[in-house]
C-alpha cells in the first residue's frame, strides 16, 4: 500500500459491522439468531428453513431484509428494530482507531446495511462517537442494500460525495464492486484477502492501515 494512492481522497466511507470493530467481537452471531427468529415467526417456517431462506436472501438480494421485502412485502422497521437489539458487551473502545480516523483529511462517514440508530450505539461502544460527519443506514438508501449500485448512488448523492475523490472501507468484498465501478479507491478489511479486480487494497489491521496513510 502506498499513501500516494490516497493523496486525492477527500471523503472516507466506512462500513460498520466487522469493519470498525473486529470480527472476533462476534456481534453478527447475535444478529443472525435474531434474523432467523424473525423469519421463522413472520413466514411460519422451521428454524432450518428460516436459515436456508436467510442465506438465500443474502446471496440473491444482498441482505435478508431485502429478500423479505421483495418476496413477502415485509415492513422494514420492525425487522431492523428486532435484529439489532443485541448486547454490545463484547465491544471495547479503541483509542488508536479513533485517532487514526480523526487524522484523516476531509469528510468521514459511516455507511452500513444496518440501521443508523444501531450504528450510533456501536460507534459509542467503540469510542468512535462524534468523529464522523454523518452516519447512514439502510433506511437512508430507501431500504435498498449494498451491494446495489442504486444504494450507493443514493447515499453519495445525499452526502455530496464525489466518488472519484473517495475511498471505501468494507469487510464484504461484494460491496466494493459498485464503489470500484464508480471510481472509488477500495479497501477490503478482512482477516483473509480476496483477489478481485474491484479490490485495490486489503488489510487485516484497519488502524495500522490508516496510520500508514499519514506517514
Domains of the chain: 3-22+90-213 (3.40.50.1000), 27-83 (1.10.150.450)
Give the pLDDT confidence of 28-46 residue by residue, as tens digits: 899 999 999 999 999 999 9
Give the pLDDT confidence of 143-187 residue by residue, as tens digits: 999 999 999 999 999 999 999 999 999 999 999 999 999 999 999
Is residue 173 within 8 A of residue 189, CB to CB? The reply is no
**Nearest 5 degrees, angle CA 60-CA 190-CA 69?**
25
- The reported pTM is 0.94
Is residue 64 within 8 A of residue 54, CB to CB? The reply is yes
pLDDT of 215 strictly over 80: no
Average pLDDT over residues 77-81: 95
Give the pLDDT confidence of 91-141 residue by residue, as tens digits: 999 999 999 999 999 999 999 999 999 999 999 999 999 999 999 999 999
Q: What is the pLDDT of residue 2?
A: 74
pLDDT of 1 strictly over 90: no
Question: Kind and range of the H or E element at 57?
Answer: helix 47-61
Backbone angles phi, psi at 198, to 5 degrees: -95, 10
Give the span between the Cα atoms of 9 and 176, in whole angstroms.
16
Amino acid at each position: 500500500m502506498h499513501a500516494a494512492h490516497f493523496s486525492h481522497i477527500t471523503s472516507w466511507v466506512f462500513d460498520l459491522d466487522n469493519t470498525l470493530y473486529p470480527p472476533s467481537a462476534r456481534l453478527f452471531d447475535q444478529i443472525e439468531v435474531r434474523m432467523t427468529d424473525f423469519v421463522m415467526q413472520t413466514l411460519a417456517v422451521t428454524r432450518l428453513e428460516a436459515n436456508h431462506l436467510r442465506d438465500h436472501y443474502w446471496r440473491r438480494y444482498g441482505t435478508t431484509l431485502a429478500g423479505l421485502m421483495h418476496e413477502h412485502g415485509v415492513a422494514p422497521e420492525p425487522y431492523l428494530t428486532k435484529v439489532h437489539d443485541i448486547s454490545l458487551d463484547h465491544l471495547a473502545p479503541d483509542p488508536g482507531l479513533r485517532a487514526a480516523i480523526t487524522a484523516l483529511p476531509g469528510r468521514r462517514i459511516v455507511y452500513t446495511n444496518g440501521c443508523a440508530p444501531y450504528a450510533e450505539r456501536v460507534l459509542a461502544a467503540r469510542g468512535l462517537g462524534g468523529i464522523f460527519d454523518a452516519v447512514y443506514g439502510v433506511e437512508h438508501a430507501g431500504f435498498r442494500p449494498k451491494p446495489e449500485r442504486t444504494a450507493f448512488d443514493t447515499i453519495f448523492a445525499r452526502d455530496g460525495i464525489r466518488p472519484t475523490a473517495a475511498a471505501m472501507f468494507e469487510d464484504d468484498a461484494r460491496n466494493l464492486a459498485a464503489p470500484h465501478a464508480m471510481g472509488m479507491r477500495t479497501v477490503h478489511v478482512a482477516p483473509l484477502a480476496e483477489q478481485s479486480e474491484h479490490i485495490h487494497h486489503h488489510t487485516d489491521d484497519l488502524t495500522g492501515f490508516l496510520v500508514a496513510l499519514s506517514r
